[in-house]
Amino acid sequence: MSKNKHVLVTTQTSIYAGYTEDIDRRPIRLTECRHGFSYTPGPDDQKGIWSLATIGPQEGSKIGPAVPQMDIDHVYNVAITTTAAEQAWLATGWGR
């Protein structure tokens, strides 16, 4: 298993998901980084931004393509995602 963790990163204006070796590094370096442009809420018990770390983006979310590596400044929060959320981030595209 890789030592990289799949994480959700928030800044003042954006949401990103990708893999990192060090959740404490600033700027945080993500590989296979995807931008969450907009997201569709989950079921009633999984609403809000943190649902992106627990169940991942749902159908209708707009998630950009992965870039190989990105350093993100001005990080507000970093959350380690569940396996289900990681798989959803990998499977979700723009509006699907």
CA distance 17 to 30: 8
- Is residue 67, in this structure, part of any structural domain at all? yes
Helix (H, G, I), strand (E, B) or coil at 80: strand
How much is the pLDDT for 96? 57
- Is residue 87, in this structure, part of any structural domain at all? yes
- Is residue 61, in this structure, part of any structural domain at all? yes
Domain that holds residue 55: 5-91
- Is residue 96, in this structure, part of any structural domain at all? no
Residue 46 per-residue DSSP state: G
pLDDT in tens, 48-77: 899 999 999 999 999 999 999 999 999 999
- pLDDT at 7 > cutoff 60: yes
pLDDT in tens, 15-36: 999 999 999 999 999 999 999 9
Specify whether the CB–CB gap between 49 and 81 falls below 8 A: no
- pLDDT at 1 > cutoff 50: no
What is the residue type of 60? G
How much is the pLDDT for 40? 85
CATH of the domain at 29: 2.30.30.100
Domain count across the chain: 1
- Is residue 85, in this structure, part of any structural domain at all? yes
